[in-house]
Amino acid sequence: RIIVIGSSNTDMVVRTEHFPQPGETVLGNEFLMNPGGKGANQAVAAARLGGNVVFICKIGDDLFGESSIKLLKEEGININHVLIDNQLPSGVALITIDKKGENNIVVAPGANAALSVENIKDLDTLISTDTLLLMQLEIPLNTVKQVVLDAYEKGAKIVLNPAPACELPEEIYQKLHLITPNEKEASMLTGIQVKDINSAKEAAEILIAKGVKNVVITLGAKGALAIFNGECLFTEAKVVNAIDTTAAGDVFNGALVVALNEGKHIKEALEFAVEASAISVTRLGAQSSAPYRNELESYQQK
């Protein structure tokens, strides 16, 4: 089973020709309101690809939270452990996308910022030695740290997608089965300017030296590099017409944990994740862009 602990947001998205400069107003095209948040996005990506997913997050007692959770349930995700904060609003993200498909994002975390380790005491009962626990950094860092330490003791394999970029407490590195930064996050964690395969390999080696068991660094349209069980591999990204890269990393992470949870070799798992994220960048939105297993399989047959 896969447990995802992380954020749930409502994304408010506008497409525009170019990003506004400070003080500038630009006119956008259509407005879209989509469920998002890295935690929820990764949970949805994993569930659509066939994962048995429990999702734990904290929402506000409001319509945004209610509607995003309803959608998660419709995806077949176990939402029995979702928490509701009585004071804070549900998280929102304000997103603009330019004509190249690049994005600019401001997140107002709301209830996500109040997800504490005390809230998830029943996690113990969910974890066993075949649990893959996937987390990101859109909930308090201290919660991530405590959960990592506790879940490791219980025998879970912990996958951390260290996004958005921030420095990590040194003691958690040794407890991580896998860390999955993108270029920016890998640069921030290692001090190496990650921009290509060689610099990614150098950064991955530093992360291994810090005590992480395995590393996958995503390199956007270039692909992904892994050091897994001591072996270094690179998988090229698929060449597609990218229109919105908003949740590329989220779909990649959701797909990667599904593949690993199914016992696939890292080479197959990377291919699976690269294909799933390639499909997602050809579509608008975050959760809405995540492919279903049958869509991925028909893509693979092409």
Residue 274 engages ligand ADP in binding (rule: CB under 6 A): yes
Residue 269 engages ligand ADP in binding (rule: CB under 6 A): no
Let me know: does 258 contact 275? Beta carbons within 8 Å.
Answer: no
Residue 178 engages ligand ADP in binding (rule: CB under 6 A): no
Q: Which is nearer to ligand ADP, 83 or 221 (CB)?
A: 221
Residue 89 engages ligand ADP in binding (rule: CB under 6 A): no
Segment interacting with ligand ADP, rule: CB under 6 A, options 66-74, 80-88, 138-146, 232-240 = 232-240
Q: Which is nearer to ligand ADP, 85 or 275 (CB)?
A: 275
The Cα-based distances of 73 to 47, 68, 82 in angstroms read: 10, 9, 11
Per residue in 10-48, is it b (16+ CB within 10 Å) or e — as a string? bbbbebeeeeeeeeeeeeeeeeeebbbbbbbbbbbbbbb
Residue 240 engages ligand ADP in binding (rule: CB under 6 A): yes
Residue 289 engages ligand ADP in binding (rule: CB under 6 A): no
| d(C-alpha 156, C-alpha 148), whole Å | 9
Task: Single out the residue of 53, 97, 219, 226 in contact with ligand ADP (rule: CB under 6 A).
Answer: 219
Neighbours of 83 (CB within 10 A): 14
| d(C-alpha 71, C-alpha 2), whole Å | 18
Segment interacting with ligand ADP, rule: CB under 6 A, options 69-77, 78-86, 220-228, 258-266 = 220-228
**Residues near 287 by Cβ (< 8 Å), separated by ≥ 6?**
34, 35, 36, 40, 41, 44, 45, 71, 247
Segment interacting with ligand ADP, rule: CB under 6 A, options 63-71, 170-178, 203-211, 244-252 = 244-252
Residue 296 engages ligand ADP in binding (rule: CB under 6 A): no
Residue 225 engages ligand ADP in binding (rule: CB under 6 A): no
Q: Report in angstroms how near the CB of residue 142 gets to ligand ADP at its nearest.
A: 23
Q: Which of 289, 291, 287 is nearest to 41 (CA)?
A: 287
Let me know: does 32 contact 13? Beta carbons within 8 Å.
Answer: yes
Give contact residues for ligand ADP (rule: CB under 6 A). Answer: 163, 182, 218-221, 223-224, 237-238, 240, 242, 245, 248-249, 252, 274, 277-278, 281
List residues with catalytic annotation.
250
